[in-house]
Amino acid sequence: MLLLQSDFDSSIAAEFQQGDHSIDILGVPVFDGPGLWEMLIRFGINLLVCWIITHFLYYRKSRRRDYYFTYMLFSTAIFFILYQLQNMKIEVGIALGLFGIFSMIRYRTEQLPIREMTYLFVLIAISIINGAGLTSSYTAFIVTNLLFVLIITLLELLGFSSRKATKIITYEKIELIKPDRRDELMADLRARTGLDITKIQIGSIDFLKDTAFLKVTYISDDPEPNDIDMITKFKKK
């Protein structure tokens, strides 16, 4: 049977041609070039904006490396959660479940320091992404997980997650709490506590008892968090 040129449908041919070159597993494409580039471009823009705000606006004034670490990982986690779930129909039950998971994360807790809470949030985010299913391609799915690992490794190598702890001290030499004697105060606390103190904040002052509450920030060598760092006295039963 002779086929005429007028009987040729280019759209149908293009569809079959595309299907011959694409490989998918269980309905999900193994590689989606445009989708992967879209994810990387959007992630790059998001990371750049968050880094500019964190580094040049926040960190330049506060010098809090622990929050630098937290903000960058938070932005990464939130981006990938929204990107990977954007094409999924999230029902009310799933939405309430996600809200319940994230509402349990409290940064005021004394049991888990902020660095450990950040890792917990990232692990929850990765688990949600990995467990919710694929929405783009296997390549983008794997790249998402690798980017998490890469960014955490980079921040760790740069030292932005150095372990710092705080302690409340009842201090009796209130003559040293004056701003012009801050170096003497720092030296005295380091000698008496043996801690590598990096910052001192002065709280309530009692001139009747010649005491003051000091909050000191120090670099801890103990990997385990100290649950009684912020306790000044034990409650009487």
State residue 122's pLDDT score.
82
Segment 101-125 shows an average pLDDT of 65
| Number of residues assigned to the chain | 237
On average, the pLDDT of the chain sits at 75
Would residue 106 count as lying in a domain? yes
Domain that residue 100 falls in: 26-157
Which carries the bigger pLDDT value, residue 41 or residue 4?
41
Least confident span in 47-51, 102-106, 184-188: 102-106
Asked if residue 174 and residue 66 are part of one domain, the reply reads: no
- Residue 173: count other Cβ atoms within 10 Å of its Cβ: 15
Would residue 137 count as lying in a domain? yes
End-to-end alpha carbon distance in the chain: 100
Asked if residue 190 and residue 146 are part of one domain, the reply reads: no
Asked if residue 176 and residue 146 are part of one domain, the reply reads: no
- Residue 83: count other Cβ atoms within 10 Å of its Cβ: 19
Would residue 10 count as lying in a domain? no
> Is residue 114 within 8 Å of residue 106, measured between CB atoms?
no
Domain count, the chain: 2
Asked if residue 168 and residue 192 are part of one domain, the reply reads: yes
Tell me how many helices (H) and strands (E) the chain has: 8, 5
Which carries the bigger pLDDT value, residue 194 or residue 237?
194
Asked if residue 176 and residue 70 are part of one domain, the reply reads: no
Would residue 97 count as lying in a domain? yes
Asked if residue 201 and residue 93 are part of one domain, the reply reads: no
Confidence of residue 101 (pLDDT cuts 50, 70, 90): low
Asked if residue 137 and residue 83 are part of one domain, the reply reads: yes
Asked if residue 184 and residue 124 are part of one domain, the reply reads: no
Asked if residue 123 and residue 65 are part of one domain, the reply reads: yes
Asked if residue 212 and residue 109 are part of one domain, the reply reads: no
pTM for the model stands at 0.55
Last residue of a domain, one of 157, 177, 196: 157
